[in-house]
Structure 1
Amino acid sequence: MHKVIYDTDPGVDDAMALLFQVRHPEIELLGITSVFGNATIEDTTRNALYLAGRFAPHVPVARGAAAPLQRTAPGPLPMIHGGNGVGDIELPDDAGTFGATLDPRPAHRFIIDTVRAHPGEVTLLAVGPMTNLALALAEDPGIARLVKRVIIMGGAFGIHGILGNVSPAAEANIFNDPHAADQVLAAPWPLTLVGLDVTQRTIMSAAYLASLRDEVGDDGQFVWDVSRVYHRFHLSSEGLDGIYVHDSSAVACLVRPDLYTLRSGPVRVLTEGIAIGQTIQKPLSMPVPAQAWDNRPAQSVCIAADYAAVLELYRATLVAGVRA
């Protein structure tokens, strides 16, 4: 079993990735920590509570950072994720906690306490800005040696010509808190970056989404409903009749790492200038000295994947969940 803390800024693709985790038999979800990003912290926390209450009411939610370490929080993205952050699906009028539990601790403290309660067992699956992880490291640097693994949906490294999605140089999660990202990538824990290089080549087509709707019961209907605004955005902005599989790719990398090709080497994040948020890896195969990289731990970057197998894994997981 993979014991997971899901650090997220729900988010349409975040919601789809949460469902993937809840239905996968090898994942034990220990907690959900919210962070700003796709919407304000108020909305991402509400969405995390709603999703937990709907799909995993036994899983606690902890509210996280409202803004980056050193920058201004980005504005919401209604044209991508809808006005409520989860594709404008209808949320119950009486919000409360939707039957989920709001943990009284801030997200970074929840991470510290949970990792220390399960040393060597917890995977941090982070699919938003890395502010909560950076705050946890700042308060308790020792957790880096106790975490089993960190998997991040973030970054872009120019593989297949893919460079960024919020600027010509940067991916959104890294761009939204580049200082936190650079600190997290410097920590001595085993870390894998699942970036745009693979997520933008993993595409759920309109036909694929419709097949989930028609074949996977309530879960399939939820995926269809929550992805309507997201699909329209992809169609209007890129002419793509489908959606990129960002956050669910990080889940796939956790449970089926054999589907991904990795490149190892230290990674830096630019924290100023016109390319702020850019992720640059120095591969271990590069012999040239580079002081800014050479004193940092090697991390893994996904550079290729079996994209069809990733899509089948998502589908099969939801199908198996219905049968169960």
Structure 2
Amino acid sequence: MRKVIIDVDTGIDDSLAILLALESPEIDIVGFTTVSGNVEVNQATRNTLKTVQMTGKSVPVYKGCNLPLVKSYIDATDTHGADGLGETFYELLKYEPEEQYAVDFILQTIKENPDEITLIALGPLTNIAMAIQKDIKTLSLVKQIILMGGAARYHGNCSPVAEYNFWVDPHAAEIVFKSGLDITMVGLDVTHKIVLSPNIREIIKQFKTPLSQFIYDITQFYVDFHWKQERTIGCVINDPLVIAYLIRPDIISFNYGKVLIETEGIAVGQSVVDFSKKETNTKIVMDVDVKEFFNIFLKRLFPNNLEEISILLEKEFKRG
């Protein structure tokens, strides 16, 4: 079992990733930390608590940085809705984040568990960059950082060249990639392939559980956004791929490269990747078995519907 801290800016796809992580016995979630990104940090904290409450489980949530290090903050409520969960405005049973600051929690946990903690970063890298600046000696004891962000050969999703998490706080991303830590980047090169299709959404709805209705409801706003912006049928769900990769590394292929982050100008937030292998600082995920991802995702969340899921996936991914 891998001990992890999951750092989130909980919008729609973060919520799906949280659900998958909570339903995966291979992962020991020490805590969730929140950061401003898709929504500001207070709303991200509410959404994280709400998602955890959906599972009936109890994992501590720590509130982190409310602003990027340098750049003015711009949220993604156009993509995720005013509440970050598709404007569903689900009621929160109890708002009880931990008192400890997320950055301090990250450092304390790594210090107490040297070479055991994997940091999963699904939002802007502000909290992690702050931890590096505050105590790099302690943070260097982290086992690994796996992040959703950037792109190596794919176009951007909030500018022609930049992925949103890096674009929101490029200076934080720069600090992380210059840190010398063990980093795996799960970027748009692969996450754009993880599309929650109308067929998959419909079968989720037909499972008729509170969780299935929650997923169906929060993703409707995403579906509408993707159609309006890209004429995509369905919606891309980036963040759960990081969790699936942690569970089953064999579903991906990767390459090594050196990642540099643009912090100013027209290409702000771009991850510039050099694959020449003269010098590398990042393991970069380049391809994914999409069918196997959905096999993991759906069967973990809906273990009482394994036969229906297998039938759906055979039809959905039939070739020829």
TM-score normalized by structure 2? 0.90
Aligned residue for 2:81? 82
Residue 298 (structure 1) aligned with residue 290 (structure 2): no
In the aligned structure 1, how far is the partner of 2:229 from the partner of 2:20?
26
- After TM superposition, list the pairs within 5 Å mapping 1:63-212 onto structure 2: 63-74=63-74, 76-92=75-91, 98-99=93-94, 101-158=96-153, 162-212=154-204
Contact 2:110 2:139 in 1 (8 A): no
Contact 1:79 1:229 in 2 (8 A): no
In the aligned structure 1, how far is the partner of 2:29 from the partner of 2:202?
28
1:317 to 300, 303, 306: 300
How much has 1:215 moved relative to structure 2? 2.9
Contact 1:22 1:56 in 2 (8 A): no
In the aligned structure 2, how far is the partner of 1:77 from the partner of 1:298?
29
Greater shift in the superposed pair: 127-136 or 234-243: 234-243
Aligned residue for 1:55? 55
In the aligned structure 1, how far is the partner of 2:95 from the partner of 2:57?
5
Alignment-mate amino acid for residue 241 of structure 2 = S
Aligned residue for 1:30? 30
Aligned residue for 2:318? none
Aligned residue for 1:291? none
Alignment-mate amino acid for residue 138 of structure 2 = I
Write the deviation string for residues 275-311 of structure 1: whole angstroms up to 9, x where unpaired.
Answer: 01110122253x5xxxxxx4xx521111111111111
In the aligned structure 2, how far is the partner of 1:23 from the partner of 1:216?
18
In the aligned structure 1, how far is the partner of 2:226 from the partner of 2:81?
13
Contact 1:7 1:125 in 2 (8 A): yes
Alignment-mate amino acid for residue 236 of structure 1 = K
In the aligned structure 2, how far is the partner of 1:20 from the partner of 1:163?
27
In the aligned structure 1, how far is the partner of 2:288 from the partner of 2:211?
25
User: What is the number of residues matched between the two proteins?
Assistant: 306
Aligned residue for 1:268? 260
Alignment-mate amino acid for residue 125 of structure 2 = M
How much has 1:77 moved relative to structure 2? 3.0
In the aligned structure 2, how far is the partner of 1:220 from the partner of 1:228?
13
User: 3-state SS of the aligned residue for 2:97?
Assistant: strand
How much has 1:321 moved relative to structure 2? 7.4
Contact 1:149 1:190 in 2 (8 A): yes
- After TM superposition, list the pairs within 5 Å mapping 1:234-253 onto structure 2: 234-253=226-245
Aligned residue for 1:226? 218
Write the deviation string for residues 204-252 of structure 1: whole angstroms up to 9, x where unpaired.
Answer: 1011111122237332222111111011111121111111120001111
How much has 1:165 moved relative to structure 2? 0.6
Alignment-mate amino acid for residue 157 of structure 1 = A
Aligned residue for 2:313? none
Q: Which consecutive aligned stretches of 4+ in structure 1 deviate over 6 angstroms post-superposition?
A: none
In the aligned structure 2, how far is the partner of 1:221 from the partner of 1:28?
26
User: 3-state SS of the aligned residue for 2:302?
Assistant: helix
Give the RMSD, CA atoms, in angstroms.
1.8
Alignment-mate amino acid for residue 77 of structure 2 = P
TM-score normalized by structure 1? 0.89
In the aligned structure 2, how far is the partner of 1:307 from the partner of 1:129?
25
Alignment-mate amino acid for residue 306 of structure 1 = D
Residue 40 (structure 1) aligned with residue 35 (structure 2): no
How much has 1:56 moved relative to structure 2? 5.5
Greater shift in the superposed pair: 109-118 or 211-220: 211-220
Contact 2:299 2:305 in 1 (8 A): no
Unaligned runs of 5+ in 1: 288-293
